[in-house]
Structure 1
Amino acid sequence: MLSRRGFLLGALGAVGCSYTGPSGRVRIAAGEAGGFYVEFARLLAGEMNAVEPELRVEVVETLGSVMNISRIAAGEAELALVLADTLAAARSGTAPFTSPLELTALGRVYENYMQLVVRADGPIRTLSDLSGQHVSLGASGSGAALFGSRLVTSAAVSVVADHHPLAEATSALGSGRVQALLWSGGLPTPALADLDTAIGIRLLDLASYIPMLRTLYGPVYDQVTIPGGTYRDPNPITTIGVPNLLVPAPSLPTPTIRTTVQVLVDRATHLVPQQALGTQYLDARSLIDTVPAPLHPAAAATYRTLHG
């Protein structure tokens, strides 16, 4: 649990450097190996290092959005990738956070697709079919875990919730230790593509749960389509999308913010992982739409300078 006092104490610890972080580092709290958080963060770090080598931008692997905010709060990261629903919870002080955190954003960088995965050769066709079953609802500390809890609660489906990192979750589904796994990420996720090749997978349609989730938690959930052929299934699947935002530490200096935003705008085509199907986005129009957090003032000023 993160309190506002703990968050501010962590932020204050980084003040005083020409570039934030020990030894001039800018650390990006990303996500699990094999996911788009890490791939995007590595591409961003590479482009930022090329523009401003003295920043020494590094990628920190984590278990996801909640942990990333914890890293920002503890002064262990200067930038973090965070799902919009997790950011909204942090700003409002709702679980898993204990009081509001005054966070902003530098941009809306891409869409995460909630992928509820079951075996293709099994009987499970809907979320309701998972009642009483073991389900991996994302790794502890991930945005997927927060979303997964909200999903099954709002759907009134009682599952035995496990919380495995992606590699463990795919192994557990393959061996039958869980009957489903929830993953929040880009398309296609290589680990899921590998699992599909090994055992065959099916993605469950989640569209019918969007109205209730939006009623309960606000407009942080979108209806999105996973194109047919993303994995081996030729049929499109409708699911829930959650924007991914790039969040700065409150102490991040204005020059670093300007550099980051300029890279997001000018190097957008270099920031999409090669395996992406093109369903993600990274352009000036979507970058500035950072609901539920305001744009950092220095980021807003940089966008105005770049685009008038």
Structure 2
Amino acid sequence: GGGLASVLSSKVPGMSATAEVTGGSVDNLNLIGTGKPYVGFSMADAAKDAKDGEGKFANKKVDLRTLLVLYPNLMHVVTVDSTGIKSMKDLKGKRISTGAPGSATEVMAFRLLEAAGLDKDKDVKRERLSVAESVNAVKDRKIDAFFWVGGLPTAAVTDLANSPGMKIVMVDNAAEVAAMNKKYGNLYFAADIPKETYSGMGKDNKVSGVANILVVNANMTDDEAYKIVKAVFDNKLELVRTHKEYINVTLENQKQKSTPIAYHPGALKYFKEKNIKVN
């Protein structure tokens, strides 16, 4: 976010942008819903709920448009070997964190538990911690496992994996994708977290993924939307230096099927200039 704000402020004449710290996708989408000129990162599932006025957005639809499909966010279900947890089913009766309030991690964690046949209220003892708080709680043995959906690598998970006396275990969760898509629409996909990602992983981790997208209120002018998209591609190397996941932000990945939110006409104007067809 900070990297994007500095690029927009320094490279787009007449535009000043600042980065705000929020709880995550749900908070970002609510800010966009105010109609003020927010540009927000969101996961596709939370954005679809906002567009449809469902879930955490019941009775408060947000009129959204996509600027960019960014990169895949992958569901980490993380524990340590001393807990004996090896599968999603093993989470039953355990103390877990399903992510911070207002985060897309929480939205997806609830759906994943449901798809694994677990009741989020009855089958687990549930905390609502950020990824950094979750790692500390695992180290202090206050929780057994946590959910986190994000890019690779996530610094807090790297920290846990490198902690003395802790052997991290990454729980496979790709098998739940079909059930989630059947209920919530075609939002999720199976992916791998390669075993080289975090120290101590014995094998690739088969996980569920969701697209991370850059969204705005539909009221943003075509000119502003165009300039933001152009600035991202014109300054991609600078953005990659701030967050290496930006390497995955490509023109070829701009497909309407990858986002449940229609593209902004200003974004489409830029893609057309580059001969990119999103449909």
TM-score by length of 2: 0.89
Aligned equivalent of 2:51, options 91, 108, 117: 91
Specify the code of the residue in structure 2 equivalent to 1:210.
V
Specify the code of the residue in structure 1 equivalent to 2:177.
I
Relative distance call for 1:176 and 1:76 in structure 2 (3 A) is farther
Aligned equivalent of 1:298, options 259, 266, 270: 266
How is 1:169-248 mapped onto 2 (pairs within 5 angstroms)? 169-198=134-163, 199-232=166-199, 233-248=201-216
CA separation in 2, counterparts of 1:207 and 1:133? 21
1:146-170 superposed Cα distances (whole Å, 9 cap, x missing partner) = 1111111222222122111222111
Post-superposition shift, 1:272? 2.9
Query: Contact 1:222/1:242 (CA < 8 Å) preserved in 2?
Result: yes
Specify the code of the residue in structure 2 equivalent to 1:156.
G
Aligned-residue CA RMSD in angstroms?
1.9
Match of 1:134 in 2: 95
How is 1:27-42 mapped onto 2 (pairs within 5 angstroms)? 41-42=1-2
Count of residue correspondences = 267
Query: Contact 1:193/1:231 (CA < 8 Å) preserved in 2?
Result: yes
Relative distance call for 1:43 and 1:288 in structure 2 (3 A) is farther
Query: Contact 2:221/2:266 (CA < 8 Å) preserved in 1?
Result: no
How is 1:248-263 mapped onto 2 (pairs within 5 angstroms)? 248-263=216-231
Query: Contact 1:261/1:303 (CA < 8 Å) preserved in 2?
Result: no
**Larger displacement relative to structure 2 (75-84 or 134-143):** 75-84
- Runs of 4 or more above 6 Å deviation: none
Specify the code of the residue in structure 2 equivalent to 1:239.
V
Post-superposition shift, 1:280? 6.3
Match of 1:6 in 2: none
1:5-51 superposed Cα distances (whole Å, 9 cap, x missing partner) = xxxxxxxxxxxxxxxxxxxxxxxxxxxxxxxxxxxx22222222221
Specify the code of the residue in structure 1 equivalent to 2:53.
G
Match of 2:30 in 1: 70
Specify the code of the residue in structure 2 equivalent to 1:61.
V
How is 1:17-56 mapped onto 2 (pairs within 5 angstroms)? 41-52=1-12, 54-56=14-16
* Equivalent position SS for 2:270: helix
Query: Contact 2:3/2:242 (CA < 8 Å) preserved in 1?
Result: no
CA separation in 2, counterparts of 1:292 and 1:73? 17
Match of 1:24 in 2: none
Match of 2:233 in 1: 265
Post-superposition shift, 1:241? 0.9
Structure 1: stretches of 5+ with no match in the other structure: 1-40
Query: Contact 1:111/1:280 (CA < 8 Å) preserved in 2?
Result: no
Aligned equivalent of 1:59, options 9, 19, 35: 19
Aligned equivalent of 1:163, options 128, 137, 161: 128
**Larger displacement relative to structure 2 (48-57 or 297-306):** 48-57
CA separation in 2, counterparts of 1:52 and 1:103? 22
Query: Contact 1:188/1:275 (CA < 8 Å) preserved in 2?
Result: no
**Larger displacement relative to structure 2 (226-235 or 43-52):** 43-52
CA separation in 2, counterparts of 1:219 and 1:273? 32
Query: Contact 1:71/1:77 (CA < 8 Å) preserved in 2?
Result: no
Specify the code of the residue in structure 1 equivalent to 2:128.
H
TM-score by length of 1: 0.81
Query: Contact 1:103/1:250 (CA < 8 Å) preserved in 2?
Result: yes
* Equivalent position SS for 1:287: coil
Relative distance call for 1:193 and 1:251 in structure 2 (3 A) is same
Structure 2: stretches of 5+ with no match in the other structure: none
Query: Contact 2:213/2:259 (CA < 8 Å) preserved in 1?
Result: no
CA separation in 2, counterparts of 1:76 and 1:240? 33
* Equivalent position SS for 2:56: coil
Relative distance call for 1:255 and 1:275 in structure 2 (3 A) is closer
Aligned equivalent of 1:103, options 64, 69, 87: 64
CA separation in 1, counterparts of 2:143 and 2:37? 33
